[in-house]
Amino acid sequence: MGAMTVRARFAPSPTGLLHIGSARTALFNYLFARHHGGEFLLRIEDTDRERSTAAATEVIIEGLRWLGITPDQPPVFQSTRMARHAEVARQMLAAGHAYQCFCTAEELRQMRERALAEGRSPRYDGRWRDRDPAEAPLGISPSIRLKAPRDGDTVVEDLVQGTVRVGNAELDDMIILRSDGTPTYNHSVVVDDHDMGITHVIRGDDHLTNTFRQVQIYQAMGWDLPRFAHIPLIHGADGAKLSKRHGAVSALEFREQGYLPEALCNYLMRLGWGHGDAEVISSEEAIRLFDLDGVGRAPSRMDYAKLTNLNGIYIRHADDNRLTRDVLERLAHRTDLALGANAAKRIRALVPALKERAKTLVDLADAAAFLARPLPLPMEPKAASLLTPEARLMLRDVAGALAAAEFTPPAIDATLRAFAESSGRKLGQVAQPLRVALTGSTASPGIDVTLAALGKEEALARLAAVA
C-alpha cells in the first residue's frame, strides 16, 4: 500500500438524530483512522434543504462530541460544494462520459409505468444516450446523465463483504446533474470523497447499491477508487431493523437515560466486531486493536441489558468528581430538593458508595436525591411503618450517642455497635429505623458512610424531625 495516509470519513445526512447505527459507523471510521495513524473527517450531507436545518446538524455534532468521536478538521458541508459538483458533471459531459437528456417528467413517468406493467424494474431506457442534442425540443432544460458501461460487471473488492458484483445491464444511466442544475446524491458523494482524499469508505451495507453507481463515476473520471467496507446493520433483539419500539435509538437518548459515552462506545465497538473474549476495552486499547478484518458479515443485535451491565462497570470505575457533577446536573431541575453547597458536599461524599450499585447515571441521581431533601423527609410507606413509637424513642437515645461521636465511618460504626450492645439490641434493629429516619427509605449504602456523608448537624436534624 506504500506510504498512503489513511483518510476515513463519516458522512451523515442531518435528520435530527444521530442514530445508534450511524454512531457505530462513525466510531468504526474513527478507530480505523486512528489505528492506521491517519485522519478522520466529517462531512455533513446537507443538500436536502428542507430537512437539513442548523438544529438537525447540531444534533449530529453534539452526539459525536459527547461520544468523543472528534474529527481532525472542521466539518465539510456538502451544500457549499454544489458548484464543484456541477463542474465535474460538465467535465464528464465534455469528455463523452455523460450526455444531456431532454426527457420531460411526463416521459419519464410513462417509461416507468411501462416497465412496471411489463414486470421489469423501472430503468431509464437510454433514449438520449446517442441522440444529437441538436434534436432537443425547445424550452426544456436538460439533465446530465452518466454514460454507464452496458456490458460486463461492476466489481467491488469489499473489505468486509468480499467480492461483490453487479451486471452493468442492471444499472441505468443515472442522472448526475438535475435539469435545475443541482447535483444528485451519488454524484456529490464521489466528488467530495475524491476531493477530500478519502482512501477508505466505511459505511452501512444499505449503501451497497449506491457503491456500484459511485464506482462508475470514479471510473468515468479516471480517479483512483477508495477501498470500500460495508458494515452490516444493527437489528433489535427480535432480528428486525432497529427502531424506537426496541428502546433508545439515538445517541443523545442514551445520554439522557444515563449511559456513559465510553460505555456506549465500548458496547458499539464490540457490536459486529470481534476480538477474543475481552468485553471491557478502553479507548486506547480499542485504537490498538481495531481493524476491518474483525468486522463480521452478519447483522448485529442490540442487547440493552448487556449495554446496561457494561455501563454499571464503567460507572464503578468512573471519577467521583465527574459523577457528582452529572448527578447535580440531573437533580438540578427537581423542585422537591434543596441543592445548595451543603447538599453537593454530601453527594460527593456518598458517590463512592452509591456508585457500587448504580447501573445508570439516572439510578445514581435517584439514589443520591435523599441527600438534598429538605425536612421533613417524605417517607416510602414500607419505611414509615418501621418508625413505631418504640423505634422513635430509641432514635432519641441513638441521637444522643451520635452527638458525642466523632463523625468518621469507623467511629460511627463503633458508636452504633456499642449502643446496640448496651441496650440489648442487634445492630440491624438499630440501623434499620435509623436508615429510615435519615433517608426516607429502607435501602441505602452502609449506615456508617451514609451518616458520615450527611454530617453530624444534618444527621441530628433528621433524627430530631422524627424522634
The answer to whether 395 touches 434, Cβ cutoff 8 Å, is yes
52 with 79: CB under 8 angstroms? yes
The strand pair at 200-204 and 153-158 is best described as unpaired
Rg (CA), the chain: 32
d(CA 405, CA 399): 10
Percent helix, strand and coil across the chain, each to the nearest 5: 50, 10, 35
Q: Please tell me the distance from the alpha carbon of residue 189 to that of residue 195, in angstroms, as a whole number.
A: 10
Residue 69 and residue 63 in contact, taking contact as beta carbons nearer than 8 Å: no
Do residues 51 and 18 lie in contact, with contact meaning Cβ atoms separated by under 8 Å?
no
Confirm whether 244 is a catalytic residue.
yes
Query: Which residues are within 8 A (CB) of 157 and not within 5 positions of it... i.e. 6 or more apart?
Result: 163, 227, 228
**Strand order through the sheet with 143-146:** 98-101, 143-146, 175-177
The answer to whether 296 touches 98, Cβ cutoff 8 Å, is: no
DSSP one-letter code for 359: S
| DSSP annotation string for 106-163 | HHHHHHHHHHHHTTPPP----TTSSS-GGGPPTT-PPEEEE----SSEEEEEETTTEE
- E strand or H helix at 265: helix 261-269
Q: Which H or E element spans position 105?
A: helix 105-117
Measured between alpha carbons, how far is 272 from 293 in angstroms, rounded to an integer?
Answer: 11
Phi, psi (deg, nearest 5) at residue 29 = -60, -45
Which residue out of 244, 355, 359, 382 is catalytically annotated? 244
Compute φ and ψ for 240, nearest 5 degrees. -85, 160
Give the residue numbers marked as catalytic.
244
